């Protein structure tokens, strides 16, 4: 049983490596072409509340993969108040969130799919 597990683990590791390497190479190439830094993943969400005075926004968000966070409703800070001018309560969006000095800060919001 131990040998079987080791074989499977080896196989899976090899499979994952062979799959992810070309993808990583491809995305690096695209980013270079566009001349932008690598961004964290976009997260799906729906806007629940906008608090422009305090630069905060409440979003019912999907899984935030790069932060290991399951779907939930929560309040985020926004990096720039102007981000809140482009959006409305009830709107489906995609957003970029980063960790900044222990706070989760939204740096970009785009229309959802
Ligand atoms: Cu959350």
Structural domain total, the chain: 2
Q: Are residues 32 and 58 both part of a single domain?
A: no
Determine the Cα–Cα distance for residues 92 and 76; give it in Å rounded to an integer.
16
Which domain, by its residues, includes 79?
43-111
Residues 94/108, Cβ–Cβ less than 8 Å: no
For residues 69 and 49, state if they share a domain.
yes
Distance, in Å, from the CA atom of 104 to the CA atom of 76, rounded to the nearest integer, reads 6
26 and 74 inside one domain: no
* Residues 50 and 32 reside in one and the same domain: no
Q: Where are the alpha helices (DSSP H) in 35-71?
A: none
Please tell me the distance between residue 73's alpha carbon and the centre of ligand 1 in angstroms.
Answer: 6
From residue 62, give the alpha-carbon distance in Å to each of 7, 14, 17, 84, 98: 35, 30, 27, 19, 15
Q: Are 45 and 60 in contact (CB under 8 A)?
A: yes
- Ligand 1 centroid – CA 80 distance (Å): 20
Length of the chain: 113
Query: CA–CA separation, 10 vs 59, rounded Å?
Result: 41
Give the Å distance between the CA of 93 and the centre of ligand 1.
15
Range with the poorest average pLDDT among 17-26, 47-56, 66-75, 89-98: 17-26
pLDDT category at 29 given cuts 50, 70, 90 is: very low
> In this structure, are 25 and 66 located in the same domain?
no
Centroid of ligand 1 to alpha carbon of 27 (angstroms): 27
Same domain, 49 and 1: no
Domain co-membership, 47 together with 31: no
pLDDT tens per residue across span 44-71: 999 999 999 999 999 999 999 999 999 9
Structure-block tokens of residue 13: 């590791």
Distance 9 CA to ligand 1 centre (A): 32
Output the CA 66–ligand 1 centroid distance in Å.
12
Give me the mean pLDDT over the 83-96 stretch: 97
CATH of residue 60: 2.40.50.320
């Amino acid at each position: 049983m131990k040998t079987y597990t080791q074989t499977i683990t080896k196989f899976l590791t090899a499979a994952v490596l062979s799959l992810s390497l070309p993808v990583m190479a491809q995305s690096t190439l695209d980013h270079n072409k566009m001349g932008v830094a690598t961004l964290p993943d976009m997260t799906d969400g729906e806007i629940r509340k906008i608090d422009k005075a305090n630069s905060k926004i409440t979003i019912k968000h999907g899984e935030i993969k790069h932060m290991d966070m399951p779907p939930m409703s929560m309040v985020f800070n926004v990096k720039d108040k102007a981000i809140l001018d482009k959006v409305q309560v009830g709107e489906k969006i995609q957003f970029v969130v980063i960790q900044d000095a222990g706070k989760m800060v939204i740096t970009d919001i785009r229309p959802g799919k």
